[in-house]
Structure 1
Amino acid sequence: MVRKHNNQLPENLPQLQNLIKRDPTSYKEEFLQQHQHFQNTIELFQLAPDQPNKTLDELVTFMAQVAQCYPTELSKFPQQLIDLMQKYNTLLDSSVRMNICKALILLRNKNLLMPTDLLELFFQLLRCQDKALRQFLENHIITDIKNMNMKHKNAKLNTTLQKFMFTMLKDTNVHAVKMSLDIMIELYKKNVWNDAKTVNVIATACFSKITKVMVAALKFFLGKDPEEKDSDNSDSEDEVDPREVMMANKVNKKTRKRAKELSKVKKLAAKAYKKKSQAVSFNFSAIHLLHDPQDMAEKLLKQLEVTNQRFEVKLMTLDVISRLIGLHNLFLFNYYSYIQRFMQPHQREVTRILQFAAQASHDLVPPDVIEPVLKTLANNFITERNSSDVMAIGLNAVREICSRCPLSLSEDLLRDLAQYKSYRDRSVMMAAKSLIQLYRHVRPDLLHKKDRGRPTEASDEIETFDYGKIDAKDYVPGADVLLSQEKSNEEIEINSESGSDDDEWIDIDQSDEEEESVEEEEDEKEDKINGSNRKNLKAKKSKKEVLEEKKALAQQVTIERILTDEDFKKIDVANLQKQLQTTGQGRKRKMEDDNANNKSELVKLSDIENIYKKRKHDKQTRIQSVKEGQEGREKFGYKDGRVNIHCSKTNREKRKKKNYQMIKHKVQRKVKRSFKDKQIALRNHLIKLKKMK
């Protein structure tokens, strides 16, 4: 190979770097010369490490670029840079320190440096007072750990780094602790370190004395995982299809009642499909992976009682404690008495505090612990001395708490709150009705008889709700409808076969036999009527027996058969019809919202702030909204349909612009005359004709 411009190579490092990568053997002598120059520069640099050194930056970059070409000569080069950074990390100039870090990353990408050695060094460098360097190192650490766990989890490496990270959280340097926590949180969000060990290490940061670190850890447990919506899983065949009810409505006699029932079934089917299509409101999050949530909740509450942090930080802590209590069914009775002092209408962020009270309620909390909270709500919010919005928010909060702990509301207080269903303000009225609707599903016996609504088959199946009782069914509810449908189909087939046989018989005139048969038929009708009455009385007496029979049939179907998608669709349609089929007389009512059976893990703030009210606007705001709606719309009024706007107009168009006195006589002609006026006009006309003759 012909070598040119050898005299310029010692000064032109990028050119020498390019030539060495092409032919390392031919340019080994020049490399050794630069390597000796690098060693001399290092010795001189250590005399003044706080000064910038451009020569050292160029030589470090050059050595890192050609390190793979001369592995023997540069075997100690990575460790030499690491020792230099560990010795002078805080004294180095920012540009020199950044350049050496980039060279180390380059060596790591070429697998000339162990990942543990480099990452431990970078974690130590987070103590430096250099924000740009810390951000650069954070991005590299996250990317490097993610790439190392791309194909498979490197358990050994992850364990080593997590131990080192745990020690970093106890460091005295604020920047190092905060950056280490941010790295762990980002790795969890990227599903790299999403194990229980990482979560419990982050949980220790909730008790840090550094406010920034504590707030970052609290926000981590308050955040949600991104909702994963898979469009492929949604199948239109799994929807509740009300076509059976529609077909029955077509075949049967058309009545107004059947039409109303059909519309209700359609709405219920749409609502059921909407609930199925919605993603889970709170996916598998970090708060589920805690080893000892009870201990964490107790420590957070103890820390909250003695802290002097800002009110926003206190709200975050209250939120985390409420989620711990609600998700893990914890017992922390002091929490309810602590949060009770903030339940005032004038309190800042009072709706969020009510949300925390609802999130901390669950079925296992004793009712006498939650009852003082409900009484405080009733006394401070649901009184006529407050505005209607405050009363509605109080009723909504009571509903959300009772949906999770129904036994906490006494019968007297429930009936007092139910009386607001006829309140003059719509928002209070609707909030009270939603509370009544909730207890229709859970404990209708606490309501007044007129508030229980029309009894249906679904309401008859409601079991008594006791403290600590778990409603775990060993069968598919409503599966008994499959057997009843099969029996009805068999009866139809038998009737069709018997009907075909009857057609073959020939009628014979026998007057005496006909008279006897008519008398027998009348006797049979009377017996049927009496029998049906006895059956109705028997049904009223043995309602529990009927429910037990349905349960037995449902268990039989669940055990003996493998249910298909078509079977589940039939069961869903039957369960919807149960909410419409009445079992007794009662007043009409609207469809029911199954809030008790569809409660989510978290309480939405919009459920408490939900106020049914049309907001009032002043005249100026209404005029502005009207004008905004008129933008881009054609001008209202007469549309001139002429092709040529300069052509003449019709007499009708001209008449609109004339003075009324000019066309008054023409307008009067079009006035309809009475019958008497017509007679007078006809008489005058005939007289005139006679005179003309």
Structure 2
Amino acid sequence: MGRGVLLTANLPQLQNLIKRDPTGYKEEFLQQWNHYNSIREIFKIHPDEQAQHFGELVTFISQVATCYPKETAEFPLQIISLLLEQLLKCLFPILPRTTSSTLRTFIRKTILSDIRTANIRSKNHKLNRAVQAMMFGMVERGIEGEVIGDKGKVRASNYGPTTDRTAHSGEEAMWAVILTKELWRKGIWTDAKPVAIIALGCFHPVTKVQSASLHFFLGSDEEKTDSDDEEDDDVDIRALHHRREINKKTRSGDKKLQKILNAAKKKRHNKPVTAANFPALQLLNDPQTFAEKLYDILNRYDKRFSLDHKILLMQLLSRVMGSHKLCVLGFYTYIIKYLAHRQLRVPAILVALAQSVHDLTPPDTVTPVVRKLAQEFVHPGVGSEVIAAGLNAIREVSRRQPWCMEEDLLSDLIEYRKSRDKAVTAASRGLLQLFREVNPGMLKRRERGKDASMGLTSGTKPLPFGCSADAAVDIEGLSLLEDHWKKLREEDGVFLGEDEEDEGGWDGWDIESDSSDEESDEGWQDVPDDNRDLILSDSEDEEPNAKSLQPEAPPRISTLATTKILTPADFALLNDLRIQEASKVVENGGGSHAKRKLATLEANKKLQQIPDQENSFISENDILGPRKKAKSDYAERMASIQKGREGREKFKSNKGKINKEVASSSTNREKARNKPIMMILSSGAVRGKKKASLREKQQRLRKHIEKAKKMRH
């Protein structure tokens, strides 16, 4: 017993004995190992208690762990996890409190690298949960603060003697949002928990925290380089030019300046186009509540927020409503006051309006908005660009909810297709073509077109609001795919079973093809008795006064869809076959209808290469429509000049005998320059300078100075 007490109290002596005889002192080691596990649990809860003794135990086990590898197999992982947890707990509070930019950068890089290292081989869920809970608390602590003014500053009375100023000032929440966005961008955190942290930041009272969170969902954050050590610093071009004017003029300095300017220009040119963060939008927890809270903030602090910040809120709210098909009816009442052609950034507001509408939006709510758009944007008192933007906005809203349009208003809007302006004509024709497809009954008979008129005659009507289409009988063009596979089997001489056809059909495809290629075909429908005098055939061989319908062959319905599961690759092949078939019809003189069908199929093929959710979002260019060519910038003008100089000699003067095809003598200016001084002293030019008045000398000097300035620039 005395020996055991002595060894327990003297760890260095026990360490020496274990290294000499590991087997003989195994019981003493196990006693210290159990003691270490107990102290470790206490240290996690209260790091200040028994910290020195815990350090001595860690040092002892580290020295003798090689003698008992089986018992200490989990020791390295325990120490790594403990270091990460305790280190992050210490670093996070320091980050918003320090005033040193160097220390902040070091702490930020340390946190990101440690979390990334812990998740390299597999997800460290325990560490991730601990850090996410810490960041969630950093955002939540300042969420109840009261903010005054338009800069998002917290009221000073909210600070108490024991209140943490960083929590209410937004610095703590800002760093939590920044780190969460970085971990999401690097692909370390990809689940719903980081999305919940930033979603909470969208309701933070400090404007800068709210703005950073909104940018995350909108995908408008600037992409940074892959290197963790490289910061995304913008080059101050004006400062570089100013420094160049002050410093000494050297050729090496000019080269360095030009190199920096070229790199900055290339960086701005290669900046990726911003797109919405679709995965984050889909991972939102309870999107209806999230959208209602966004609208509540937008409506409550309308006078406090700047216009740019309100547009950010509108854009995020509209995208959440469009992607999840939500109804926040108060948003349409709120946005009406911003629908004016003199409103700043009105294209972005129109984009937000169009993206918020979907097929489940009540038409009665959107009809006043469409009426306001027509009153403000589409009338003779505004410019053609304003009219085109208004028509395009109305078209995008009507595309998502056609029942919001009024028949009289539609009749007035499509009359603008006779305008002399190209943008207005294109916008009005686009609106006309839309209603020919979705609801031709709202158009006058002469404006419906051939296909829409035949559809109405056969009894085809658009579905009312809230109704869904019936099950499709067949997929248009599916027989082409069946014939294609049959031809391949005949050429190979081998019958391929269904399982063999399916192999590889899903390679490289993440989602199913959209329903753009799956148009429903109702099959043969009888024409009512009162329309039996209608002649449906365009053949010249038929009698024009025929009183009965010509017999037609029933459409062929393929059974391939009921016997085989079609893959996205099959649908892509089907679309190509339909394009080939439509091309043959056009080549054989199919007419304008065949050309329009071919153009539609080719457009659908391009749309399939873009994610479906991205197709539901539009940009400001879709609202503004085609415009006149804008004035070219310096780079475009220089490129055009260089293109025009291709294939010709360098431009230079042909004066004198050097640059002319036929050599000639020197010019009079060259001869005068080489004359002796005594020969020109009595010339009129020299005598005139001597006799010139003070006024003439001033005019000559001013002319010389202006000419020198022009040559310098």
**TM-score normalized by the length of structure 1:** 0.55
The equivalent of 1:560 in structure 2 is 563
CA contact (8 A) 2:339 2:376 kept: yes
Matched, 1:478 2:477: yes
1:71 to 37, 51, 59: 59
- The aligned residue for residue 317 of structure 1 is 313
Provide the C-alpha distance between the structure 2 equivalents of 1:645 and 1:560, rounded to a whole number of angstroms. Answer: 81
Name the counterpart of 2:121: 151
CA gap of 1:568–1:156, structure 2 versus 1, over 3 A, is same
Map 1:29-428 → 2, pairs under 5 A: 71-72=59-60, 111=80, 113-132=82-101, 133-171=103-141, 172=164, 173=166, 174-223=170-219, 284-307=278-301, 308-428=304-424
Is the Cα contact below 8 Å between 1:358 and 1:397 reproduced in 2?
yes
1: distance between equivalents of 2:597 and 2:212? Answer: 47
Question: CA shift at 1:470, angstroms?
Answer: 3.8
Q: CA deviation at 1:294?
A: 0.9
| 3-state secondary structure, aligned to 2:433 | helix
Is the deviation greater in 475-484 or in 533-542?
533-542
Task: Determine the structure 1 residue equivalent to 2:628.
Answer: 613
Q: 1:536 to 1:558 in 2, by over 3 A?
A: farther
When the two chains are superposed, the root-mean-square deviation of aligned CA atoms in Å is: 5.0
Residues of 1 paired with 2:474 and 2:573: CA distance?
17
Question: Could you tell me which of 465, 468, 478 is aligned with 2:466?
Answer: 468
CA contact under 8 A between 2:402 and 2:438: conserved in structure 1? Answer: yes
Greater shift in the superposed pair: 463-472 or 561-570: 561-570
Supply the distance in 1 between the matched residues of 2:420 and 2:595 (Cα, whole angstroms): 22
Distance in 2 between residues matched to 1:166 and 1:140, nearest whole Å? 20
Which amino acid is the alignment partner of residue 332 of structure 1? V
> What secondary structure sits across from 2:59 in the alignment?
coil
| Counterpart-to-counterpart distance in 1, 2:463 and 2:588 | 23
Shift of 1:593: 5.0
Deviation, 1:388, is 0.6
Q: Give a deviation string over 1:439-467, Cα, whole Å, max 9, x none.
A: 33322333334434443999899873432
Letter in 2 for 1:634: R
Q: Could you list the runs of 5+ residues in structure 2 that have no partner in the other structure?
A: 1-18, 20-54, 64-75, 142-163, 224-272, 489-538, 664-713
- AA partner of residue 121 (structure 1): C
In 2, the alpha carbon distance for the partners of 1:376 and 1:436 equals: 19
Larger Rg: 1
* Aligned residue pairs, count: 453
Sequence identity, in percent? Answer: 29
CA–CA separation in structure 1 for the residues paired with 2:645 and 2:126: 66
Partner deviation per Cα, 1:529-578 (whole Å, 9 max, x = no partner)? x9x969997995899x95xx45xx13x22123566676664344346778
Mean CA deviation greater in 299-308 or 408-417: 408-417
Q: Which gives a bigger RCO, structure 1 or 2 (Cα 8 Å, sep 6+)?
A: 1
- Give the AA of the match of 2:280: A
Q: Secondary structure at the match of 1:613?
A: coil
C-alpha deviation, 1:585, in angstroms: 10
Secondary structure of residue in 2 paired with 1:338: helix
Which residue matches 1:656?
Answer: none
Deviation per CA, 1:621-640, whole angstroms, max 9, x where unpaired?
A: 99999866544552599999
> Could you report, residue by residue, the CA deviation over 1:296-333 in whole angstroms, capped at 9, with x for unpaired residues?
11111111112112221111111111111111100111
CA–CA distance in 2 between the matches of 1:561 and 1:445? 38
- In 1, Cα distance between the equivalents of 2:576 and 2:299? 53
In the TM superposition, residue 287 of structure 1 has moved relative to its aligned partner by 1.2
In structure 1, C-alpha distance between the alignment counterparts of 2:635 and 2:133, rounded to whole Å: 61
The residue matched to 1:455 in structure 2 has which SS? helix
Aligned partners of 2:362, 2:590: CA distance in 1, in Å? 34
Assess if the C-alpha contact under 8 Å between 1:441 and 1:596 holds in 2. Answer: no
- Provide structure 1 residue ranges, at least 5 long, that are not aligned to the other structure: 1-24, 26-66, 76-106, 228-278, 490-529, 650-693
Is the CA contact (8 Å cut-off) linking 1:453 and 1:588 kept in structure 2?
A: no
Q: How many Å separate the matches in 1 of 2:215 and 2:662?
A: 75
Whether the aligned pair in 2 keeps the contact of 1:453 and 1:587 (CA below 8 Å) is: no
